[in-house]
Amino acid sequence: MLNTVSVLIEQYQISWGECSIISCGSFLILEVVQESVISIEKALDDLETLIRLPIIKIDNLQAGFGETVVLVSNTWEPIGEMVFQEDIETNSLFGPFKFIKTANDEQRHVYAFNTALQTGDGFKGLQKLIPHFDRRIFIHNSKMRYIRQRTNLITTEADKIGLMVSNILQNRFRANNEQLLTEILETEIEQLSLNYGVLASYFRLLREGQGILDSSLLRVIGEARKIFGKKVETNLQEYLTLCRKAAKEVQQASEQVNLIMNEVKAAIEVIQTQVNLLRSKESVELQRQFKMVMDQNVALQQKSLTLQVAAGFVEFIVIAYYSFSLWKNLSNAEIFHRVPGLLTLLVASLFAGVSVLCTHLLAHERRLTKKLALAIFSILTLLALMAILSSGLIF
């Protein structure tokens, strides 16, 4: 509910009339009664000087959006004394009044009431409703100016991003190798992702601005209906057209930003696909190189196996020769010759084979295992067999 209790703050007697400063709720009303003929501009200058001190005493004055001047007379004559661009006469539920366009409309709104043309309590009704209506006009105009400025800045920055995206898609990246090209493309993806986040915040601000303007305009229309009734669209056609044009500009800007967002997203997908293809080519090349290395390893292993077999065979021959020679030299020549040659060859060959096996097990295992223990046991058994055959107990 609006507070309609009026409080008289200051009252002055002026050479050409009387001035009263009244506080009505959250509004400050300046009431002037003109008793002698004087120019409106001089009167406003005198009043501005006169009421400066009382106004400073009013709390939160700096938060005001503008100044509303209401000229009250029983004729339209005072209007001609003010320098104005145009005056617009309109009908309200309380009678006709005029809005006077001046060069300073953003900071000062001027209304003129002709009491002779108003019926009943028409002036009191307008006096009560005009401050609320005009306050909404000031607030909405302030919001429109701010949001339009912000929209222009956003549109400019969004266009820069859109131009950058076009340049990225049209340019052919060149690099000495595919790995460097991949790094360049990944850098571009990172930059595009950052720009996408910026555009998303711009889009949110524009949608928020649309909501602010729509709700603010609804409040203006709500206050206007109390004055004009069902003829709001007719009486405020020019102003409402301007407001809707501003809202449409914000909507178009949000659509443009959304379009650029989609372009950035598409650019990210295109470059990411190119990166994936390059990565795939690198992966195929790595697999080819890996296969080549594996083939080389297999060939080396085959050569190594051949060398190991040859080395093992040589080792077998050497051990067999020296073990046979040692056995022969340590044995009695007469007894040794009685042992069948095939048996001595078999025993020496078994001893050499088991010895080679034992050395290979020691090289790989380096710890006592069942196979190594069985090989050692076989060597000891063959040595024992050589000793028995050399003793002559059998042959």
The β-bridge relationship of strands 108-114 and 86-92 is: unpaired
Q: What average pLDDT does the segment 208-218 reach?
A: 92
Tell me the C-alpha distance between 67 and 30, whole Å.
Answer: 10
8 has which bridge partners?
A: 22
Q: What average pLDDT does the segment 222-246 reach?
A: 89
Same domain? 77 vs 123: yes
Q: Which of 23, 22, 26 is nearest to 12 (CA)?
A: 22
Same domain? 133 vs 175: no
Cβ–Cβ < 8 Å for 170, 271: no
Is residue 332, in this structure, part of any structural domain at all? yes
The three-class DSSP label of residue 39 is coil
Same domain? 144 vs 285: yes
Tell me the C-alpha distance between 124 and 101, whole Å.
Answer: 23
Comparing 124-138, 176-190, 236-250, 269-283, which segment has the lowest mean pLDDT? 176-190
Residue numbers of the domain that contains 231? 140-291
Same domain? 82 vs 186: no
- Of the three residues 274, 291, 308, the one that is the final residue of a domain is 291
Is residue 47, in this structure, part of any structural domain at all? yes
**Residues whose CB falls within 8 Å of the CB of residue 218, separated by 6 or more in sequence, listed in order:** none
* Structure-block tokens of residue 306: 């051949």
Q: What is the pLDDT of residue 63?
A: 43
The β-bridge relationship of strands 27-34 and 67-73 is: unpaired
269 has which bridge partners?
A: none
The rounded percent of the chain whose pLDDT value lies above 70 is: 80
- Specify burial of residue 276 (Cβ count, 10 A radius: 0-12, 13-18, 19+): exposed
pLDDT level of residue 247 (50, 70, 90 thresholds):
very high
**Residues whose CB falls within 8 Å of the CB of residue 279, separated by 6 or more in sequence, listed in order:** 182
Which range scores top for mean pLDDT: 6-10, 204-208, 269-273?
204-208
The rounded percent of the chain whose pLDDT value lies above 90 is: 17
250 has a pLDDT exceeding 70 = yes
pLDDT, tens only, 109-126:
888 877 777 666 667 777
Comparison of pLDDT for 218 and 383, the residue scoring more:
218
pLDDT, tens only, 158-173:
999 888 888 877 765 5
Q: What is the pLDDT of residue 243?
A: 93
Q: What is the pLDDT of residue 121?
A: 66
* Structure-block tokens of residue 366: 């380096």
pLDDT, tens only, 288-342:
887 788 878 877 877 777 877 777 778 888 888 888 888 888 787 777 777 788 8
Comparison of pLDDT for 258 and 372, the residue scoring more:
258
- Of the three residues 83, 104, 138, the one that is the final residue of a domain is 138
- Specify burial of residue 200 (Cβ count, 10 A radius: 0-12, 13-18, 19+): middle
pLDDT, tens only, 359-380:
877 777 667 788 878 888 888 8
Q: What average pLDDT does the segment 334-354 reach?
A: 82
Q: What is the DSSP letter of 333?
A: H
- Domains contained in the chain, number: 3
Is residue 18, in this structure, part of any structural domain at all? yes
Is residue 81, in this structure, part of any structural domain at all? yes
Same domain? 17 vs 123: yes
Same domain? 157 vs 287: yes
- Of the three residues 240, 262, 291, the one that is the final residue of a domain is 291
73 has a pLDDT exceeding 60 = yes
Comparing 20-24, 76-80, 335-339, which segment has the lowest mean pLDDT? 76-80
Q: What is the mean pLDDT of the chain?
A: 78
Output the CA torsion sign for 362, 364, 369, 370. Answer: negative
Q: What is the pLDDT of residue 258?
A: 94
Q: What is the pLDDT of residue 1?
A: 32
pLDDT level of residue 58 (50, 70, 90 thresholds):
very low
Same domain? 315 vs 353: yes
Q: What is the pLDDT of residue 172?
A: 56
77 has a pLDDT exceeding 50 = yes
Helix (H) or strand (E) holding 202: helix 178-228
Comparison of pLDDT for 21 and 293, the residue scoring more:
293
**Residues whose CB falls within 8 Å of the CB of residue 350, separated by 6 or more in sequence, listed in order:** 378, 382
pLDDT, tens only, 218-228:
999 999 999 88
356 has a pLDDT exceeding 60 = yes
Q: What is the pLDDT of residue 57?
A: 45
| Sheet containing strand 108-114, strands side by side | 67-73, 108-114, 95-101, 86-92
Is residue 266, in this structure, part of any structural domain at all? yes
Residue type, 335: I
pLDDT, tens only, 25-54:
656 677 777 666 666 666 666 766 666 555
The three-class DSSP label of residue 90 is strand
Q: What is the pLDDT of residue 3?
A: 40
**Residues whose CB falls within 8 Å of the CB of residue 156, separated by 6 or more in sequence, listed in order:** none
* Structure-block tokens of residue 368: 């006592």
Q: Which of 107, 108, 104, 102 is nearest to 85 (CA)?
A: 102
The β-bridge relationship of strands 86-92 and 95-101 is: antiparallel
Is residue 1, in this structure, part of any structural domain at all? no
The model's pTM: 0.56
Same domain? 37 vs 144: no
Same domain? 283 vs 302: no
Same domain? 58 vs 128: yes
Same domain? 28 vs 133: yes
Same domain? 40 vs 158: no
